[in-house]
Copies of this chain bind each other. A is one copy, B any other.
Amino acid sequence: METEPTSIWLRPARGSRGRAPEHTRDGIATVAVHLADADGLGAVTMRSVAQALGGGSASLYRYVESRDELVALMVDQVNGEIDYTVLDHADWLADLLALGGQSRGVYLRHPWLTDTPAATGDLGPHAVAYLEHALRALRDLDVDGHRKLEAIGVFTAVVRLLARTEIEQRGVELQDRRRQLAAAAHLGHLLQDGAHPHLAAALSAPPVEADEDQTERLLTRVLRGLLER
């Protein structure tokens, strides 16, 4: 009974004995990310990626055990876009906000990232680096380590949520005007019968626009609430 490594991050990128592989994990991820950037995550099929690489789809399984692993490669690759030199190590809040801004940028540049299952199981190397830098920003805080990890988890989830909202807004504005009207009609109808007075009140004022300022404001309050006092 042999214990074979299950995660792609534990498996060696290539065997040591046979013929040299024609691609690298990074090269494959790059091609897949380009496809997703252009036409969404649904455009990333084993066949389309293989074709973009100039090979057959069965060959991909020499690099990856499943499509999910391919997506994991993509996610870690774009996480590598984060530039940690923006952290000036002044105070922890500023550093985390800078990190959040970087992360938001990754989401906006790769909208399909929000369609990706939230990081589970084994983290890729760039995700680990992200954690490490976030924890470093909090190093002087007198808070239990696991509490810090909790806070970073919530932080990451909020960044994701706001980015998703921004992306949706962007998409609606650009094209699906009819759907926007339909949704408004839907809500209008719902609110007209008086069964949802608080919703009606909350929606009566013009909406707050989702942007970087909103992200910073919300992250500040969330992080203060979680880590201060």
Contacts and interface: CB of A to CB of B under 8 A. Distances in A.
A161 B118 contact: yes
Contacts of A120: 164, 168
B157 A198 contact: no
Contacts of A183: 7, 121-122
A190 interface: yes
Contacts of A153: 161, 165
Contacts of A131: 196, 199
Copies of this subunit: 2
Nearest to A146: B208
Contacts of A158: 154, 157
Contact of A207 (B146, B157, B186, B190): B146
12 contacts: A7-B182, A10-B186, A118-B164, A122-B182, A135-B198, A135-B199, A135-B202, A136-B198, A145-B204, A150-B214, A150-B218, A223-B225
